[in-house]
Structure 1
Amino acid sequence: MFDLTWLLGHAKTTYTSHKTPIPLKTKDGNKTTLNELATSSIPPCRLKPFLFNGHLQTMYTAVSDPGPPIHYKRKIFDSDHSVYPGIFAVDFVVSKTEGEASEPDPELPERTTTFTAEEWDQIGSQDHKPMIIALHGLTGGSHEVYLRETLAPLTASGWAACVVNGRGCALSRITTPQLFNSRSTWDVRQTLRALRTLFPNRAFYGIGFSLGANILANFCGEEGSRCMLRAAVTCDNPWNLEICNKELNSGWLGLHVYSRTMGRNLMGLFERHREQILKNPRIDEERLVKSKYLYEFDRHVQCPTWHYPTEGAYYRDAQSVDAVLSIRIPFLGINATDDPISSEAGLPYEEIKQNPYTLLCTTNWGGHLGSFQLGGGRWFADAASKFLAKVHEDVDFDALREESGGEDTDGEDMLKKGNKYPIYDPNHRRLILPEA
């Protein structure tokens, strides 16, 4: 019998988790789990019926939508990484009054201005606000509608927020030949250290979208129990980059629409930063300018930039599917199984089942960064913001830190704690880097 529930906009929501999720003590002294927090806060998925499959939902993201107006002030950070110096931009959400008081900057995205030295000197606070740190998708930035739709309800209820822009994104400059990659967690790490100094009493939460989701999942895995985030959510993460790349290039739409569109966006980024990028003598400009598809850009820019021999090696090293096993904070992944870019074939169902700190929420309809709802807005943005608000409102994180017995999975740390070979380290990288 045919399932016609899509005519009413009804999508099916499924949760995958460890058989015994970590118990979370609530502020009223009771116990709960990630599953219970999610099912009690995430609304049913009700989408626009005329966008009846993942392709239509994904393509609809190209339709112009002003989204909620959010004002930002930008701070340029000097990277403290010994291998990847340079600068990166972090945009902080400010009030409408504060945003409109500044002269518009035509060289920055709409409603974005730069902190003056005096303003930045006064930004620190002893307040206890929750604060969300967001990471955008490929070639995106703080201006993205899907990101603003997620931040808007949180900031309206009193949360502070900032967006860590990928290097060269959101009309930011670069001063070295490196842009970003799918596992460039160092700028997030530096940002959080700075935020902890500025706001010692705030509770930090993370959210990432698409490429930013992959970076965030890797970051949470690398940090393990040391993670400064209390909880994190990823939306439409392409968890297994190698599988997603193969799936993307296996069909006409994937190759000639999605991969080509992403490749074109990346080439636009290259044109904006051509002078800096071509300072890398390993990059072959003649081959690069002929790039049409995502994988070609990765082959001709990302590989020589980060010293990977092939784009496949890059994807295998940068994907976050294994990092799931190292996460030691409450973590929710949200994906649509009909996503043509973040393929269902790459979803970490089995890895999620092995980690009691994690939960995967999947819908059978929604596409990539789509999930357009009947009443307006995106379902995943609604789901993520309501889940994070519920987690912050209910969970006693002081008790969680005291009771947490989860062992980190870093190979060297496990040896120091008396573990014996063989040891599986899900964060083991082929690209060898110093700590910072």
Structure 2
Amino acid sequence: MLNTLYAYSSNISSWHVLSFGLLAYCAYYFMSVVKLPTIACADGPLKNFLQQEIPTLNQKYWPTFWCLDGRAQTILASVIRSKAIPEIAYKREMFTLTDGGEVALDWMDDNCNSNSPCIIILPGLIGNSQDDYVRCLTVAANNSGIRVVVFNNRGLGGVAIKTPRFYNACNCEDISEVVKHVRSVVPAHCKLGATGISLGGLILGNYLARRSEEARTYLSAAKIISVPWNVQKAVDNMDQPIINKLIGYLLAQGMYKIVNRSGIHKYQEFDMTSLKKSKSLRDFDASFTIKHFDYPTVEDYYNDAGLQDKLHDISVPLLCLNAADDPFQLLDAIPIQAAYECSHVAIIVTTRGGHIGFLEGFLPSAKDQYMSRIFVKYFTKALIDEQGEFQRIKDDLHQKFLAKHSLEG
């Protein structure tokens, strides 16, 4: 019997083996990969709005056939956007914070008028207004007649540190001042939204949760993309060999360079030699972040920064987009069950997409990406709200929010 099988297998051509492998891969792709995105949100006005107004959410997500790995999607998406979307000629505004610190607000309103709403964008960990994913969202919004202002964190965007303060994932003070300032600059009848990507999503999410009533006063809608909900698990995952560990090392070194260039160490004593030797984000946070912001341990900082247990403190309608294979935050750390019980937060989860990747189609495009398509459709409907539909949804959600918190109180 074994001899017969061996003789049979020896006569199979490589063409047949290749065909069988391709057939098996296609079966796997169609059966396990191509699926409708999960919409984790309590039944109610927000979920109904998303399903009715954003057609993409009712369609299967077709990740790029030959690029399924989350890390590959992350890298390739960045390469495609970097090559296809040129740098943007923003109008820079230097904004002075109440403590004397200074940040750059980069405005893009070329395709706008006096009635155009505005979106504040918060980039990721070491990101600024010229990062590829920020340009992608900015161009998409501007093409739809929405003005954009990118909030570059302290020490980023080519701006020097002027006070002994940096930024972290819980940094609500700066975004609070920026939101109030932008609201005062944009015409009163124009609605204001905000979106945060990765670490920017953590900062925005913490602002929405910790300053819930303030956020609701100024913001009509919010969105976060590829946020590491559970920071502890995200950092643990980044410590896994080999590729994740390499990415973590590069991010830690990127943070070291920003700190070193900013001159923050001139105001507060740090062991810059140890900081330079950081091999992971955990190393960097242990050597810098917890000392600069007075956290007892790294775990205390990560627990404070996480959003997984803060959904019910958010009163601004919030749309979130995550991929189940995000190398920074895998599916088990996304608070899907909590979102199913939350009327004002919706978490969209795709089977693939990596971290700020979300490539789709055989030849993925930089101009019409899944991420930017949902972003534009959501904010267009929420902010250009001529019939007041979304405002009624927001008011209804707020009444439920107040009633729930009244009962809990």
Q: TM-score range by the shorter chain?
A: 0.7 to 0.9
Q: Which of 40, 43, 52 matches 1:20?
A: 43
The residue aligned with 1:222 is 210
The one-letter code matched in structure 2 to 1:355 is C
Structure 1 residue 252, shift from structure 2 partner: 2.5
SS of the aligned residue for 1:71 comes to coil
The match for 1:203 is: 191
* Equivalences for residues 350-389 of structure 1 within 5 A: 350-374=337-361, 375-377=364-366, 378-389=369-380
Q: Secondary structure at the match of 1:179?
A: coil
- What does the per-residue CA deviation read over 1:242-267, in whole Å, with 9 as the maximum and x for residues that have no partner? 11111221332222x11111112112
Alignment partners' CA distance in 1, 2:342 and 2:181: 30
What is the alpha-carbon distance in structure 2 between the residues aligned to residue 372 and residue 246 of structure 1?
Answer: 26
Find the counterpart in structure 2 of residue 114 from structure 1. none
Q: C-alpha offsets along residues 316-373 of structure 1, whole Å, 9 cap, x if unaligned?
A: 1011222222111221110010111122222111221221011111111111111223
Structure 1 SS opposite 2:375 = helix
1:212 to 200, 206, 212: 200
2:37 is paired with a residue whose SS is: strand
Matched, 1:171 2:162: no
> Contact 2:77–2:357 at 8 Å: present in 1 too?
yes
Paired residue type of 2:326: D
Give structure 1 stretches of 5+ with no counterpart.
25-31, 99-124, 424-436
Q: Is the 8 A contact 2:118 2:146 kept in 1?
A: yes
Aligned mates of 1:211, 1:409 — CA distance in 2? 31
Query: Aligned partners of 2:211 and 2:171: how far apart in 1?
Result: 13
Matched residue type, 1:405:
Q
- Map 1:70-85 onto structure 2 (within 5 A): 70-80=88-98, 85=100
| 8 A contact 1:86–1:176 mirrored in 2 | yes
Distance 1:215 1:159 in 2: 22
Distance 1:60 1:327 in 2: 34
Mapped to 2, the partners of 1:92 and 1:23 lie a distance apart of: 29
Please name the residue that 2:258 is paired with: 269
Q: 1:13 to 1:68 in 2, by over 3 A?
A: farther
In structure 2, distance between residues paired with 1:409 and 1:238? 29
Aligned to 1:295: 282
Query: Following the alignment from structure 1 to structure 2, what is the Cα–Cα distance between the partners of residues 408 and 323?
Result: 16
| Counterpart code for 1:231 | A
Partner of 1:158: 145
**1:147, 1:381 within 8 Å by CA — same for their partners in 2?**
no
**CA–CA distance in structure 2, aligned partners of residues 171 and 7 of structure 1:** 46
**1:55 paired to 2:49:** no
Q: Give the number of aligned pairs.
A: 374
Compute the displacement of 1:16 (Å): 3.4
The CA distance in 1 between the partners of 2:354 and 2:56, in whole Å, is 24
Is the 8 Å Cα contact of residues 352 and 360 (structure 1) preserved in structure 2? yes
**Aligned match of 2:382:** 391
**Root mean square deviation, CA, Å:** 2.9
Report the CA distance between 1:271 and its aligned residue: 2.5
1:215 and 1:320 in contact (8 A); partners too = no
When residues 383 and 40 of structure 1 are mapped into structure 2, their CA distance, relative to the original with a 3 A threshold, is closer
Q: Alpha-carbon deviation of 1:137?
A: 0.7
> For 1:163, what is the secondary structure of its paired residue?
strand
Provide closer, same or farther for how the CA distance between residues 8 and 173 of structure 1 changes in structure 2, counting only shifts above 3 A: farther
CA deviation after TM superposition for structure 1 residue 11, in Å: 3.7
Q: Provide the residue aligned with 1:239 in structure 2.
A: 229
Residue deviations 1:358-391 (CA, integer Å, cap 9, x gap): 1111111111111223341232122222222233
Change (3 A) 1:397 1:49: closer
Gap change, CA 1:42 and 1:65, over 3 Å in 2: farther
Q: Deviations over 1:53-109 (max 9, x none)?
A: 11211232553524155321111211125xxx511111111439x9xxxxxxxxxxx
**Identity rate, percent:** 23
Superposition pairs of residues 391-430 of structure 1, within 5 angstroms? 391-393=382-384, 396-400=389-393, 402-403=395-396, 404-408=398-402
Secondary structure at the counterpart of residue 215 of structure 1? helix
Structure 1 contact 142–148 (Cα < 8 Å) conserved = yes
Higher helix share: 2
Tell me which residue corresponds to 1:28: none
**TM-score, normalising length from structure 1?**
0.78
**Are 1:130 and 2:146 matched, yes or no?**
no
In 2, are the aligned partners of 1:42 and 1:387 still within 8 Å (CA)?
Answer: no
Matches of 2:402 and 2:274 in 1, distance apart?
43
Letter in 1 for 2:234: C
Give 1:144 shift: 1.2
- 2:5 corresponds to: none
Letter in 2 for 1:314: Y
Q: CA–CA distance in 1 between the matches of 2:95 and 2:138?
A: 22
Query: Counterpart of 1:308 in 2: which secondary structure?
Result: coil
- Are the structure 2 counterparts of residues 306 and 409 from structure 1 closer, same or farther at C-alpha, using a change threshold of 3 Å? farther
Which of 94, 100, 107 is equivalent to 1:92? 107
**Code of the aligned partner of 2:210:** E
Q: Give yes or no for contact 1:168–1:269 (8 Å, CA) kept in 2.
A: yes
The worse-fitting range, judged by mean Cα deviation, of 374-383 and 353-362 is: 374-383
Closer, same or farther: CA 268–276 of 1 in aligned 2, 3 Å: same
Task: Give the whole-Å Cα distance in 2 for the aligned partners of 1:369 and 1:363.
Answer: 12
1:269 Cα deviation after fit: 0.7
Highest Rg: 1 or 2?
A: 2
One-letter amino acid of the counterpart of residue 38, structure 2: Y
Mapped contact 2:102–2:154 kept (Cα < 8 A): yes
Cα–Cα, structure 1 residues 232 and 42, in superposed 2: closer, same or farther, change >3 Å? farther
Runs of 4+ in 1 over 6 A off after TM superposition: 7-10
Change (3 A) 1:361 1:398: closer
Using the size of structure 2 for normalisation, the TM-score is 0.83
